[in-house]
Structure 1
Amino acid sequence: MFVRSFTTALILILASAGVASAQSPTRIQQFKAWGAYSYKSGNSNVCYVLSVPTAKEPANVDHGDIFFIVSQRPGQNISYEPQAMMGYVMKENSKVNVTIDNKTFVMFVKERAAWVENAAEEPALVMAMKTGKSMTVKATSRKGTVTSYAYSLQGISAALKQIESCK
């Protein structure tokens, strides 16, 4: 299950990043709920941490494969970019809300993926993930279904530390 989900996540990541040719990812290490990975894209490496939800709501719908990713692409000058990946197309012009403890971050939507609306807030989101106790991601499907995902933040700091020196 995790391998299939991981492969799906990689395909979605590569598609959203506009990467036409990239090598298969290497799993660096698993840190509780978060895995650290890397792959070669052109002449540079891309590193990222990834987790799957511990709970999905509503329970009676097919959510597909859901992930939360924080990527690092030194070749593109991108450092710790959070991204929500859904197993379905989200409602056009909707927002994804990521709530960590009492702080909410808003993400803009493009089909199956969402990124922080205000890029200047990316470091604050990543810091909140490192220090937070719980994370919830809320989205709306193209059909109008409101969804909610709970994530464990256990291991996120260690996983991010592992990809810190990605070059």
Structure 2
Amino acid sequence: MFVRKIATAIALVLATASMAAAQSPTRIQQFNAWGAYSYNSGGGKVCYVLSVPKEKSPAGVDHGDIFFLVSQRPGQNISYEPQAMMGYPLQENSKVNVVIDGRTFVMFTKGNSAWVENAAEEPALVAAMKSGKAMSVNAKSRKGTTTTYAYSLSGISAALKQIEACK
């Protein structure tokens, strides 16, 4: 299954211990466009919600596996950390913009991933995702291609509630 393949890749990327210590994730439950997952790593239990874009632009470009996730790592005091992961390297020193109902959140990039530039805005981004109607992620590849991804926010609140008690 495509989602399980992506979830396994995320588990390996998110594991803070050695790759050998990473375990395959378990899907807890699917909530419309968002799935809730967990796995155990050397640093403790990791829980996250994950979705894939419903639309990708430009058409005709190999985007690879694209997804957006929000993770919880209680053993590391990380709560609801949003992350965008692309199937290609992002342009160095570029920014990724997450737009929810007209409000923009800026993410810094490293490799093929992006995180909220100002960590103090993470709760606001998660709150916007929970109350929002539409989310788009705008990025630039290392080759200079501008890309846009549209995500459904249907199910995000229920999925986040599911991982609330991650311990």
TM-score by length of 2: 0.94
The aligned counterpart of 2:41 is 41
What value does the CA root-mean-square deviation take over the aligned residues? Answer: 1.3
Rounded to whole Å, the distance in 1 between the matches of 2:121 and 2:150 is 21
Rounded to whole Å, the distance in 2 between the matches of 1:5 and 1:76 is 23
The aligned counterpart of 1:105 is 105
SS of residue matched to 2:75? helix
The aligned counterpart of 1:58 is 58
Rounded to whole Å, the distance in 2 between the matches of 1:19 and 1:96 is 28
Question: For residues 67-108 of structure 1, what are the alpha-carbon distances to aligned partners after superposition, in whole Å with 9 as ceiling and x for unaligned?
Answer: 100000000000000000000000000000000001000000
Q: Percent identity?
A: 71
SS of residue matched to 1:88? coil
Asked if 2 retains the 8 angstrom alpha-carbon contact of 1:8 and 1:65, the reply is no
Asked if 1 retains the 8 angstrom alpha-carbon contact of 2:129 and 2:135, the reply is yes
Task: After TM superposition, give the deviation of residue 18 of structure 1 in Å.
Answer: 5.8
How many residues were matched structurally? 165
Asked if 2 retains the 8 angstrom alpha-carbon contact of 1:12 and 1:85, the reply is no
Where does 1:1-167 land on structure 2 (aligned, <5 Å)? 1-14=2-15, 17=16, 19-20=18-19, 21-42=21-42, 44-167=44-167
Rounded to whole Å, the distance in 2 between the matches of 1:150 and 1:129 is 13
Rounded to whole Å, the distance in 2 between the matches of 1:18 and 1:44 is 9
Question: For residues 133-158 of structure 1, what are the alpha-carbon distances to aligned partners after superposition, in whole Å with 9 as ceiling and x for unaligned?
Answer: 00000000000000000000000000
SS of residue matched to 2:65? coil
**Structure 2 unpaired stretches of 5+:** none
Runs of 4+ with >2 A deviation: 1-14, 17-20
Question: For residues 110-153 of structure 1, what are the alpha-carbon distances to aligned partners after superposition, in whole Å with 9 as ceiling and x for unaligned?
Answer: 01000000000000000000000000000000000000000000
Task: After TM superposition, give the deviation of residue 58 of structure 1 in Å.
Answer: 0.3
Task: After TM superposition, give the deviation of residue 19 of structure 1 in Å.
Answer: 4.7
Asked if 1 retains the 8 angstrom alpha-carbon contact of 2:11 and 2:23, the reply is no
Corresponding letter in the other structure for 1:68: F
Question: For residues 50-72 of structure 1, what are the alpha-carbon distances to aligned partners after superposition, in whole Å with 9 as ceiling and x for unaligned?
Answer: 00000000011000000100000
**Structure 1 unpaired stretches of 5+:** none
